[in-house]
Amino acid sequence: MEFRGLFPPMITPFRNGRVDNESIGRLVEACAPSLDGMVVAGSTGEGPSMTFAERTTTIEAFGRAMRGRLRLIVGVAETSLGGIRELMRFGDEHDAAGYLVPLPFYFRHTPETVMAFFREVSGYTDREIVIYDNPYTTKTALTVDDYSRLAALRPNIRHVKITDTTIHKVDAAKARGDLILLAGSDEVMHQQVARGCEGAITATPQVFPAESRAWFDAACAGDLAASARFFARLLPFVNEVMIGTDDYPAVVKYALRQRGVIASDEVRGPLAPLSGVRRRILESVLPLVGAS
């Protein structure tokens, strides 16, 4: 199965310390007509801050709400191979189409440990593995040569999410032609798609799904004038998302609560709620998106 289109990394709604299944249902219904799939229980979903039971509850809740309409990708940001194996086993049993896999984010990596890690985890499942190139979190910037070496390991390694904002990396990876490239950072997703990324795993489409669909379809069609206009309308929100990278889930949750999609913008520690100033700024920004 190939992933092309919009696959936002979904937030996990919490209410009074628990996963909020009702809000998950409303979130999926609000987004489904404009999306191709969803990434759940990843870093934007605060997966590393949840217990294993909470992560499986989240996977089940999103899967039920999707009702087969969207492809389910499970985030497996983990420092433990055993934890990754268990999450993949659960995902396979609950119709996951693939897994978003970053390198473990504690120890530093060498070229040898990068290869060994992906060789191991890609053998846990026959579903698609999306390499998650995220230097900010993993302390390791993968190269385009790394992409190709990893793609040669197993047939289920065919996708890479490029969160590295080095734009020329997309050009070089596209020229090689051996992987499906997915835009991975909201502030450069327009440039990444225009340069050849065939999908986007970015947060903005879950807050503004219809507007994001219009942008993405125009960009994929090669209509750069139209896609630039559509993207410009998203920029006030994209700017707020990217101010303070670790505020990302809190900003998305607050926006979704303000739009009436989820019941609470509660985040799980160590993340903190947005300050009053940031909330007021975001409230002033949200009505601007899509305005002509």
- Residue 108 above 90 pLDDT? no
13-32 residue pLDDT tens: 999 999 999 999 999 999 99
Query: pLDDT above 90 covers what percent of the chain?
Result: 93
DSSP states of 155-211 as a string?
Answer: TTEEEEEE----HHHHHHHHHH--SEEEE--GGGHHHHHHTT--EE--SHHHHSHHH
DSSP states of 36-93 as a string?
Answer: SEEEESSTTTTGGGS-HHHHHHHHHHHHHHHTTSSEEEEE---S-HHHHHHHHHHHHH
Q: E strand or H helix at 98, and its extent?
A: strand 98-102
Residues 6+ apart with CB under 8 A from 158: 2, 128, 129, 151, 179, 180
CA distance 232 to 240: 14
**Contact 9/201 with Cβ under 8 angstroms?**
yes
- Residue 246 above 90 pLDDT? no
- The structure's pTM equals 0.96
DSSP states of 113-136 as a string?
Answer: HHHHHHHHHTTS-SSEEEEEE-HH
Residue 148, both tokens = 């190709």
Residue 29, both tokens = 């219904």
What residue type is assigned to position 99 of the chain? Y
Residue 256, both tokens = 């979704």
**Contact 150/173 with Cβ under 8 angstroms?**
no
Query: pLDDT above 70 covers what percent of the chain?
Result: 99
- The pLDDT-based confidence of 98 (bands split at 50, 70, 90) is very high
Q: Map out the domains of the chain with their CATH numbers.
A: 5-224 (3.20.20.70)
183-222 residue pLDDT tens: 999 999 999 999 999 999 999 999 999 999 999 999 999 9
